[in-house]
Amino acid sequence: MNQARIPSVPSLQQRNFTARWLALAGVVGPIVFVGAFTLAGFLRPGYSPIHQAISDLGVGTNAWLLDIDCVVFGVLLLAFAIGFFLGMCQVLADGWRLTCLILLILSGMGAINAGIFTEAPATVTVHWTLGFQLAVLPPVVVCGIVGWQWLRVSG
């Protein structure tokens, strides 16, 4: 006889606790990212956030600030992706949760890639452009999927 696996209440509580802490990385990550590139901008003589891209801070003096910031941001996005996957089990169908997980992992990997492959003239190639696009575009798609799925939830 094949019995369905029903998780116990303590295991569900542990999963919810873990999901909340991992999802908190989605709040902390952007704050740390903005704070670090703001600090890097203040430390760069002649840098103008109005006339220059943030990625310009990844080259030259104190470039390590933005590079490490991108890698940390990417790792926090990966943690958020796992927390989102665990926390949305009651809201999203399994297929859509897996799709969102993959897209959010791509976003985190894109941020890490943008930190490793900088905008320096020797490396302005597919690596940096792909990393930037992977960091920015998948969360937009995830927002669309989640919004569409939430329309189906009553209340």
Per-residue model confidence as pLDDT tens digits over 127-148: 666 667 777 888 899 999 988 8
SS3 126: helix
Query: What pLDDT does residue 114 have?
Result: 83
Per domain, the residue ranges of the chain are 12-150
Non-local (6+) Cβ contacts of 121 within 8 A are none
Per-state percent for the chain, helix, strand, coil, to nearest 5: 75, 0, 25
Work out the burial of residue 31: count CB atoms within 10 Å of its CB; fewer than 13 is exposed, 13-18 middle, 19 or more buried. exposed
CA distance 38 to 93: 39
Query: What pLDDT does residue 22 have?
Result: 92
For 98-119, write each residue's pLDDT tens digit. Answer: 999 999 999 999 888 888 877 7
Do residues 85 and 116 lie in contact, with contact meaning Cβ atoms separated by under 8 Å? no
For 27-54, write each residue's pLDDT tens digit. Answer: 999 999 999 999 999 998 888 888 888 8
pLDDT averaged over every residue in the chain = 83
pLDDT exceeding 70 applies to what percent of the chain?
83
Q: Categorize the per-residue pLDDT at 126 as very low, low, confident or very high, splitting at 50, 70 and 90.
A: low
